[in-house]
Structure 1
Amino acid sequence: MNGGPTGFNNAPVTRAFIIASALFTVFFGIQGRSSKLGLSYLDVFGKLRLWKLIVSAFAFSSIPELMFGLYLLYYFRVFERQIGSNKYSVFILFSIIVALLFEFLTLTLLKDSAVNLVATGPYGLIFASFVPFFFDIPVSTWFRVFGLRFSNKSFIYLAGLQLLLSSWKRSILPGLCGILAGSLYRLNVFHIRKTKLPEFVISFFSWISWPTTGSPPSAPARSIVGNIPSYASRQVERNYPSSMPSAIDPSEDSIATLVSMGFDRNSARQALVQARNDVNVASNILLEAQSH
């Protein structure tokens, strides 16, 4: 469950977000100002400083939280590869904004309780990502440890639980708000899943990010028409017969990348054959079929 073998390949938005989160955390940590970044009830009805609101969406309050948070953000880059960088950027903005609104509402309702400050960091995005992780990423292996049954997804859940409880009440609240935001995105409120940002925004993320590790697709993209269910290999074979002309044997790295996104291995291989080993085109084929 590493989210794919090729680092940040095809995930420039995730890469830029992780870099920003790490830099903000280290910068404010060195200055000793991390504890002042958390949002409080006074921020809702008092003077809300814009810089604090923006920074609180990136910077964690401690290095342990940063390590678990970056690990989860890095794994969840699989969703950027699934839906594309543009729609993933919309998912990030929606998750952060909606989670913040839920946090403000909760702080307003609980102003006289012990929960008067929420932890800083991209909790909204991370825990919103657990919603598609739960529903869309299948379990591929099971194993037992001391008689207890675990899946290959268990490590991600354990890392999320550790982050959720890292600051107790301060971190539980933004985590739960993130799950609510992810649920609303999955329910497609306001048709948010069809929304796209201008392409220059995605190009900006690619420009400011560090170079990608991993090999680019080995062949240019071309228009493909097909209707392939994501997890039904027999239907893949029906739509993509083995006697396809000019077929290209897909690379193991490309197959592994699609499998890491949650697609069936045989479905991934057949889609890559049609897409001439182009991972982006193959994932679009599989996702288009999944939406039907």
Structure 2
Amino acid sequence: MAATGMHGAPTVKVWMAGLLCFGAVLALSPEWKQQLLRVRVYPYIARRWEFWRLATTLLAFPTISQTLTALVLLYQLRVIERLFGTRRFVAFLFVSSIVGQVLSVAMVLAARFLSHRVFAAVNSIAGGPYAMVFACLYQFHAHVPAKQHVRVLGAVTVSDKWMTYVVAGNLAVARLPAAFVPAAAGVAASLVYSANVAGLRLWRFPEPVAEFTRRWVQPQLVPVPRRRVPALGSHAAPRPQAAAPEAVVAQLQAMFPAAAHERVAQALATTGGDVDRAVSVLLESSSDPAAPNP
């Protein structure tokens, strides 16, 4: 059975809760919202060097409607954390946030030399983690295959992923032109990550940080499943694992052509037939730094 809800996505769960809490607090304090979320590359960044604004603007979206739209989008993008695994996904968010903000500033400064009209339109960067969200959106586009396609009006064929793109477009259009730069920078940052520029795709937080998180933080976010204890005196033999359906194995092999048939079947067997977790296992093994093709 495929994972439902927020199973396997504790980071997205915390992210969504943080956006909701910070959004509610800032909605009650317009002064703090103006101070923390407003970013104008010139003069705040280029002249005053207030780089802290590039970090605080990632905390929340300025309006409740944008926050709710982002929550719907992140819920649909939670599959990326399942594919990457939590440790790699956290590293991906950290890298994409830094690279995305740097590219946002670079794009605005480049616009200043190209056209004063364009510079005036994009100088104010929309508040909110646009770069991180749209970096996840690109990974969703690149790694999550469509399960089915539907013809609309007999001429246009769309996949079952179209609703995710509609929600993302709504989030970006709500703050045009201010949202264009961070959204485009997020996609560019995701491309940089996928290309493994400077080894960014292989970077992880140090092991002590990961161990601390696994030991003290993750147990508070991920409920421990109950284990069924056999009744006393029961001599029933353990139930053998069911063989994975060949159609599911073929679908995963299409996603991971370098993986052997036995490896795909084993991943499905060890995860109890959970396709999302099996994909995560295969993706983790294929992205191992020791592997020839990370």
TM-score bracket relative to the smaller structure: 0.7 to 0.9
Q: Does 1:162 align with 2:166?
A: no
| 8 Å CA contact 2:267, 2:282 repeated in 1 | no
Q: 1:47 Cα shift?
A: 3.1
Matching residue within 226, 230, 241 for 1:248: 241
Aligned residue in 1 for 2:265: 270
- Name the CA distance, whole Å, in 1 between partners of 2:239 and 2:219: 36
Post-superposition Cα deviations, 1:191-250, rounded to whole Å, max 9, x if no partner, equal 11111113454554872896447x74979xxxxxxxxxxxxxxxxxxxxxxxxx974238
**Bigger mean CA deviation after superposition, 69-78 or 179-188:** 69-78
Q: Which amino acid counterpart does residue 282 of structure 2 have in structure 1?
A: L
- Which amino acid letter does the alignment assign opposite residue 140 of structure 2? F
Structure 2 gaps of 5+ residues are 229-237, 288-292
Q: How many residues align?
A: 256
Normalising by structure 2, report the TM-score: 0.73
Distance 1:39 1:218, change over 3 A: farther
Which residue type is aligned with residue 45 of structure 1?
Answer: A
- Does 1:150 pair with 2:145? no
The residue aligned with 2:21 is 23
**Farther-moved stretch of structure 1 (275-284 vs 109-118):** 275-284
- Whether 1:42 aligns to 2:43 is yes
> Identity of counterpart residues, as a percentage?
24
The answer as to whether partners of 1:107 and 1:116 remain within 8 angstroms in 2 is yes
How far apart are residue 267 of structure 1 and its match? 9.3
Alignment of structure 1 residues 32-71 onto 2, 5 Å? 32-33=30-31, 34-36=33-35, 37-40=37-40, 41-49=42-50, 51-71=52-72
Q: Do structure 1's residue 194 and structure 2's residue 202 form an aligned pair?
A: yes
Q: Is the 8 A contact 2:243 2:269 kept in 1?
A: no
Q: 1:175 aligns with which of 172, 183, 186?
A: 183
Which residue matches 1:287? 283
CA contact (8 A) 1:16 1:208 kept: no
The superposition leaves residues 27-50 of structure 1 with CA deviations (integer Å, 9 ceiling, x where unpaired) of 112111435513112221233446
Q: What displacement does 1:170 show? A: 0.2
For the pair shown, which has the larger CA radius of gyration, 1 or 2? 2
Alpha-carbon spacing, 1:80–1:166, altered in 2? closer, same or farther (3 Å): same
Q: Distance in 2 between matches of 1:287 and 1:247?
A: 26
Q: In the aligned structure 2, how far is the partner of 1:31 from the partner of 1:172?
A: 26
Change (3 A) 1:22 1:263: farther
**Cα deviation, residue 75, structure 1:** 2.0
Cα distance in 2 between the residues matched to 1:89 and 1:65: 23
Report how far residue 183 of structure 1 moved.
Answer: 0.4
Distance 1:50 1:201, change over 3 A: farther
C-alpha spacing 1:78/1:217, structure 2 compared with 1 (3 Å): farther
Partners of 1:276 and 1:107 in 2: CA distance: 46
Give the deviation of 1:157 after TM superposition: 0.9
Deviation at 1:273, TM superposition (A): 5.1
C-alpha distance in 2 between matches for 1:281 and 1:143: 27
Aligned-pair Cα RMSD in Å? 3.7
What is the distance in 2 between the residues matched to 1:195 and 1:217?
34
Give the whole-Å Cα distance in 2 for the aligned partners of 1:168 and 1:270: 47
Question: What residue ranges of structure 1 are gaps of 5+ in the alignment?
Answer: 220-244
